[in-house]
Amino acid sequence: MKKVFEDIIASNDMQAIKNCVTIMADCCEVGMNDSVMLDVMKQVQGEIGACHYNEEMADMHLCLIGQLHTKDVAKDYWHEVKNDNINLEDWCVLWGEMVKRNDAKIKKWFPKINTYNYEQKIFDECISFLESGRLPYYDLNV
C-alpha cells in the first residue's frame, strides 16, 4: 500500500487526491479485509495513475486467490504477449486467475498432460481472455 500512498502524495491533482481520501474513508465504514483493501488500492490507483496493477497489488491479488506460486511461470511467458494494454503485473494476475479457473478442468480432460503443454493451455486461456476485449485490472475481481 506504500506505493499507492506515494503516488497520492506525488499527485498535483487536488480533485484526484480528494477522491482518493473519499474512497479510503468509505472503505473504513465497510471494514478492511484483504479483498476490500485490494479493491480500495485499485480504485485509488485508478484516480491517480494508470489503471494497471503494481507489484504490491498483483502479489496481494495472487495471494488472495492462492496463486502467488504461479508468478514466476507467468513471467516466463510475458515476452510472448503482444498486448500494449497490459503490464507485467496485469499479466501475472491474469495467469494466476486462469490457473485458478482452469487447473482442474485441464487436468481432468488431459490427465497425462506434461508441464509444457499445461502451460500452453493456460497461456491460450490468457490470450483468449485478452482477445475478448477484457483486461485484468477491470475484469478480474477477488
Which residues are CB-neighbours of 37 under 8 A, at least 6 positions away?
A: 1, 27, 60
Whether residues 64 and 21 share a domain: the answer is no
Whether residues 70 and 4 share a domain: the answer is no
Q: What is the pLDDT of residue 6?
A: 85
- Provide the domain count of the chain: 2
pTM of the entire predicted model: 0.85
Whether residues 59 and 37 share a domain: the answer is no
User: 42: domain range?
Assistant: 1-49
Q: What is the pLDDT of residue 97?
A: 97
Whether residues 43 and 57 share a domain: the answer is no
Q: What is the pLDDT of residues 32-85, one digit of tens each?
A: 777 888 888 888 888 887 789 999 999 999 999 999 999 999 999 999 999 999
Whether residues 108 and 88 share a domain: the answer is yes
Whether residues 38 and 66 share a domain: the answer is no
Whether residues 95 and 139 share a domain: the answer is yes
Whether residues 59 and 110 share a domain: the answer is yes
Q: What is the pLDDT of residue 30?
A: 66
The CB density around residue 44, as the number of other CB atoms within 10 Å, is 23
Q: What is the pLDDT of residues 110-140, one digit of tens each?
A: 999 999 999 999 999 999 999 999 999 999 9
Residue type, 93: V
Query: What is the band of 88 on the pLDDT scale with cuts at 50, 70, 90?
Result: very high
Whether residues 89 and 24 share a domain: the answer is no
Q: What is the pLDDT of residue 39?
A: 84
